[in-house]
Amino acid sequence: MISIFKRCVLFSPCTLTLLSVILLINNNQVSASSHPVSPDFRAMSTNSLVTPQWLIQNLNKVRVIDATYMPADAYAAEHIPGAAHYAFDSAYFKSEYIKFDLYPPEVFQKYVRLLGVNNNDQVVIYSRGPASGMMFASRAYWTFKVYGFTNVNLLDGGLDAWKAAGGSTNNKVVIPDLGNVDIRALNPDILANFEEIPFNHFAEKKVDYLDARVPAQFTGQDPLSSTYPGTKATGSHVTGAINFPIAEVIGPNGFLSQQEVDAKIAKLGLTAGNQVYVACNTGIQASVIFTALERSGIKAKLYNGSMTELAYRAPELVNASGN
């Protein structure tokens, strides 16, 4: 496996682009007394975002990773100087029911070491494209955290925001020195698997299940069969799910302010003490919601299998439609 990764890194500029981690800062904070989300949630608030201006000033102090997934040649054409390419097709594998499945920690460790990540690095991740550049970056951010690497942040607004702030780019191939990062066991506090989620029993099991797909998919206006041909599911979402699409937390320049997101979360009716799960189609959009919830102080688990797994493994659970 390590030799495969080396070939990807050394001979394919599009495949090697991993971006690095940044220090944890808490900005955009409001007092607990004025916070629309319960103080029980607020105590866990973590802001993962850094601004382009901050990164411009600290570029030489952090490990930058470009997590662009589409288009395939985007990284090779242009990236932040020194950014390594985090290639989704190398960082994950497709299993029977999961499109972006997680490797054992020792395998992922080999990959991120090839990206030059060290134990003491501050890693800052960015991407470009959908959701103001935050969709694939958020997935990479969650992945680092699920493997136990916590000194990681996101560049708010992605590459477009970086360039708008006067940040430079180039197309120089980046081949980092081998890193020494130690990857730990998968963190069950932010990762959920199919077996643990009490489908059809959310209320009695004290669960809030957020579905980050677009409303048309959630309600069934866009039939599930159009995304998952051959599924035997009769509905468009699982019973008890709450639709919370990424458009609720993302604006034209990146994440909406924490105050705006807090207000939207407050309207969801989440219950303090409940276990919150986030899901979508493949776990990508759910990572954006995970990041927004984290900033607002709500601890959540991302269901990596999401609808891709449910549609074929347990279609009988996809038994509700409409709002």
- Same domain flag for 215 and 146: no
Shared domain for 55 and 125, answered yes or no, is yes
Is 38 within a domain?
no
pLDDT value of residue 46:
78
Sign of CA pseudo-dihedral 290, 292, 294, 296? negative
Are the CB atoms for 126 and 22 separated by under 8 Å? no
Output the CA–CA distances (angstroms, integers) from residue 205 to 192, 197, 198, 201, 214, in the order listed.
15, 9, 7, 6, 26
Residue whose pair of structure tokens reads 């800062």 in the numeric block: 25
Indicate the pTM of the whole model. 0.87
Regarding whether 240 and 155 lie in a shared domain, the answer is no
Render pLDDT for 207-266 as a digit per residue (tens, 0 to 9).
999 999 999 999 999 999 999 999 999 999 999 999 999 999 999 999 999 999 999 999
Across the chain, mean pLDDT equals 89
Same domain, residue pair 156 and 214: no
66 and 123 fall within a common domain: yes
Domain membership of residue 100 (yes or no) is: yes
Of 19-23, 170-174, 287-291, where does mean pLDDT reach its minimum? 19-23
- The domain in which residue 247 lies consists of 191-320
Q: Which residues contact 72 (CB under 8 A, 6 or more apart)?
A: 14
To 5 degrees, how large is the angle CA 125–CA 133–CA 275? 75
Residues 200 and 84 in one domain: no
Active site (annotated) includes residue 280: yes
Residue 255 domain-assigned?
A: yes
pLDDT band at 184 (very low <50, low <70, confident <90, very high): confident
**CATH code, domain carrying 199:** 3.40.250.10
Beta strand 84-85 with 207-211 is unpaired
Tell me the average pLDDT across 156-160.
98
Q: Considering the domain boundaries, does residue 178 fall inside one?
A: no
Residue 163 in this model has a pLDDT that exceeds 80: yes
Q: Is residue 261 part of a domain?
A: yes
Residue 84: closest CA among 46, 53, 58, 118: 118
What amino acid is encoded at 121 in this protein? D
Q: Which of 8, 16, 191, 280 is catalytic?
A: 280
The domain total for the chain is: 2
Query: For the segment 32-71, what is each residue's pLDDT rounded down to a tens digit?
Result: 333 445 555 554 567 899 999 999 999 999 999 999 999 8
Shared domain check, 133 and 81: yes
